[in-house]
Amino acid sequence: MNILRSRKLLLAAAVVLVLLAINEFRPVSEVQATQTIGSSSTVGTSSGPIPWPSGAQAAIGTANGNVIAATPASHPAPMASVAKVMTALVVLDAKPLKQGETGPAITITPDDVTEFQQRQANQESVLPVQAGEQLTEYQALQGLLIPSANNLATALARWASGSMDAFVNRMNGKAKELGLRGTTFADAAGTVDQTVSTPVDMIRLGAAALNNPVLVDIVSQLQVTLPLSGTKPNVNYALGQDGIFGIKTGNISSEGAIYLFAGNVQLGTGRKVVIIGAVQGLPTLQAALDSGRALLRAAHTSLEQRHVVSRDQTVGRYVLPWGARSDVVSTADLDMLVWGGTVVRMKLQTAPVDSAVAARADVGKLHVTAGDASYDVQVTTTESIEAPSFMARLTRLGW
């Protein structure tokens, strides 16, 4: 009997040892951080729908290129002369100017004269040029953006890159750099249907333009005086209305009018912000200008600044079954411009933990969305998380 009992005890001990060995060597279950910040909230009260243009696509955003809202199901469509904003950016990448500089002289060639004559015969927007004439880089950019001269787009492209093909390649490279996924350039003037974009992409293009003081200076000018052309008005006839100070109009027979605009908006708190908008596909330029003004007027009363999260604010927490724990905090403040009545949603996205993690380790992000806008704030641990000890692994249950 004693022998039998001893054998049972030995067997039980062996089973326990096997289970302990299995516990020691089986993987530790991964544990996600629990979100402690609220998952959603509504900003203010709805002040009515955004006045999107009927039968067209549009978007509004901020000066850093973040989209506040956009019409649904937008698709790439001809962008017409708004393409000249990218032309100017690529020229200035190749031949940089500082504010107040006029830059090197561009000598008009016989090919430039032929280009002018052909485009003039097509009844396009052009400025007269003659062989041997010299324009400074700044003057050529003025002629490109203010009266919207198609022939100067070609002249600038050849001057900056040597050939149109090389320049268009640079335009598409710049579009990729700026994250313009729905934008393709086939020419420098925007006169072909294959040069396409979306309102959201045009907001990002406009934000890039506003980062260049030379372009901000030019697009805000009401007129320009050039040697052969005399004084020409800015085709952006809405300048100075409802806070508008730029950026570029466009018109193409296959798609209608396009308007990329920037304007100053005063919020209810008294703070002023810059809003960029784009409308695409309206039948006339006047309709596009009116739509841009309507969006800015609505923004004055409907946009609100929302403080979403503060730096070092606790947004989540790791609680590990072996007793370790750490709060998860944001690494930056986040303030958003939001249309009144929009729901702000927050989702903590962190790396799962199954071993040691250092204090202040980057463990993921807080993903915040409000309408069409989205932001990511990096999050870190506050304390170090120790790996489970040998005894904790050996004796664990369920993890």
Residues 235 and 262 grouped into a single domain: yes
Segment 308-325 mean pLDDT: 96
Pair 258, 82: CB distance under 8 Å: yes
17 part of a folded domain: no
pLDDT at 371: 84
Q: Cα(138)–Cα(160) distance, rounded to whole angstroms? A: 13
Residues 249 and 125 grouped into a single domain: yes
Residues 261 and 331 grouped into a single domain: no
Segment 356-380 mean pLDDT: 95
Residues 268 and 318 grouped into a single domain: no
Of the pLDDT bands very low, low, confident and very high (cuts 50, 70, 90), residue 44 is confident
Residues 122 and 151 grouped into a single domain: yes
Residues 132 and 233 grouped into a single domain: yes
6 part of a folded domain: no
Q: Cα(374)–Cα(386) distance, rounded to whole angstroms? A: 34
37 part of a folded domain: yes
- On average, the pLDDT of the chain sits at 92
% of residues, the chain, pLDDT over 70? 93
pLDDT at 17: 58
Domain that holds residue 99: 57-303
What's at 189, amino acid-wise? A
Tokens of residue 212, six digits: 């260049």
For residue 282, give the nearest of 252, 247, 256 by alpha carbon.
Answer: 256
51 part of a folded domain: no
3 part of a folded domain: no
pLDDT in tens, 275-300: 999 999 999 999 999 999 999 999 99
Tell me which long-range contacts 320-324 makes (C-beta under 8 A, separation of at least 24). 320/31, 320/353, 320/385, 320/388, 321/29, 321/31, 321/396, 321/398, 321/399, 322/388, 322/389, 322/392, 322/393, 322/396, 322/399, 323/392, 324/385, 324/386, 324/388
pLDDT at 26: 76
21 part of a folded domain: no
4 part of a folded domain: no
Residues 203 and 333 grouped into a single domain: no
Given 303, 333, 356, the domain boundary residue is 303
Number of domains in the chain: 2
pLDDT in tens, 125-168: 999 999 999 999 999 999 999 999 999 999 999 999 999 999 99
Residues 182 and 116 grouped into a single domain: yes
Q: Is the pLDDT of residue 23 over 70?
A: no
Given 276, 303, 330, the domain boundary residue is 303
Residues 127 and 216 grouped into a single domain: yes
What string of DSSP letters covers 292-355?
A: HHHHHHHHHHHEEEEEEE-TT-EEEEEE-TTS-EEEEEESS-EEEEEETTPEEEEEEEE--BSS
Q: Cα(240)–Cα(348) distance, rounded to whole angstroms? A: 43
% of residues, the chain, pLDDT over 90? 81
pLDDT at 46: 67
pLDDT in tens, 211-268: 999 999 999 999 999 988 899 999 999 999 999 999 999 999 888 999 999 999 998 8
Segment 337-362 mean pLDDT: 94
Of the pLDDT bands very low, low, confident and very high (cuts 50, 70, 90), residue 29 is confident
Residues 277 and 324 grouped into a single domain: no
Residues 292 and 384 grouped into a single domain: no
Q: Is the pLDDT of residue 4 over 70?
A: no
5 part of a folded domain: no
Residues 218 and 261 grouped into a single domain: yes
Read off the CATH number of the domain in which 273 is found. 3.40.710.10
pLDDT at 139: 98
Given 274, 303, 332, the domain boundary residue is 303
pLDDT at 27: 83
Q: Cα(56)–Cα(277) distance, rounded to whole angstroms? A: 13
Q: Is the pLDDT of residue 47 over 80?
A: no
Of the pLDDT bands very low, low, confident and very high (cuts 50, 70, 90), residue 310 is very high
Q: What are phi and psi of 327, to 5 degrees?
A: -70, 155
Statement: the pTM of the whole predicted model exceeds 0.95: no
Q: Cα(148)–Cα(229) distance, rounded to whole angstroms? A: 13
pLDDT at 161: 96
